[in-house]
Amino acid sequence: MMMIPADAALYFAVVTALSIPVWIVAAYVRPGTQILPGIPLSALAAFTPAIVAAMLESTHPVASSRAEGMWRLFAGTHDVGRLRSPWRLAVDVLFHPILALLAYGSIRASRNARSLPMPQFGKIDSTTVQLFAMFLVAAFGEELGWTGYARSKLADAGYSSQEAGFVMGLFQAAWHWIPLTKAGRNARWIAWWTLYCLSIALVRSWLFDHAGPSVTAAAVLHAAGNLCWQLFPVQGSLWDPVHFGLWSCALSAVPYVFF
**Per-residue DSSP letters for 109-147?**
HHHT-TTPPPP-TT--SHHHHHHHHHHHHHHHHHHHHII
pLDDT at 28 over 80: no
- What's the pLDDT score for residue 216? 87
Alpha carbon distance 51, 232 (integer Å): 31
pLDDT at 108 over 80: yes
Which residue did the predictor score with more confidence, 68 or 146? 146
38 pLDDT tier (thresholds 50, 70, 90): low
32 pLDDT tier (thresholds 50, 70, 90): low
30 pLDDT tier (thresholds 50, 70, 90): low
Q: What is the mean pLDDT of residues 81-94?
A: 74
Judged on CB neighbours under 10 Å (0-12, 13-18, 19+), 228 is buried
Mean pLDDT computed over every residue of the chain: 85
pLDDT at 86 over 80: no
- What's the pLDDT score for residue 154? 93
Which residue did the predictor score with more confidence, 55 or 90? 55
In sequence order, which ranges of the chain are alpha helices (DSSP H)?
6-24, 48-58, 63-74, 86-111, 126-145, 152-156, 161-182, 187-210, 215-231, 241-258
3-state class (DSSP) for residue 105: helix
- What's the pLDDT score for residue 166? 95
- What's the pLDDT score for residue 62? 57
State the pTM of this model. 0.87
- What's the pLDDT score for residue 70? 64
65 pLDDT tier (thresholds 50, 70, 90): low
Q: What is the mean pLDDT of residues 34-51?
A: 79
234 pLDDT tier (thresholds 50, 70, 90): confident
In the chain, % of residues over pLDDT 90: 46
Evaluate the omega torsion of the peptide bond into residue 97 and state whether it is cis, within 30 degrees of 0. no
3-state class (DSSP) for residue 182: helix
- What's the pLDDT score for residue 167? 95
3-state class (DSSP) for residue 3: coil
What are the tens digits of pLDDT across the range 164-222? 999 999 999 999 898 888 778 899 999 999 999 999 999 999 988 887 778 888 999 99
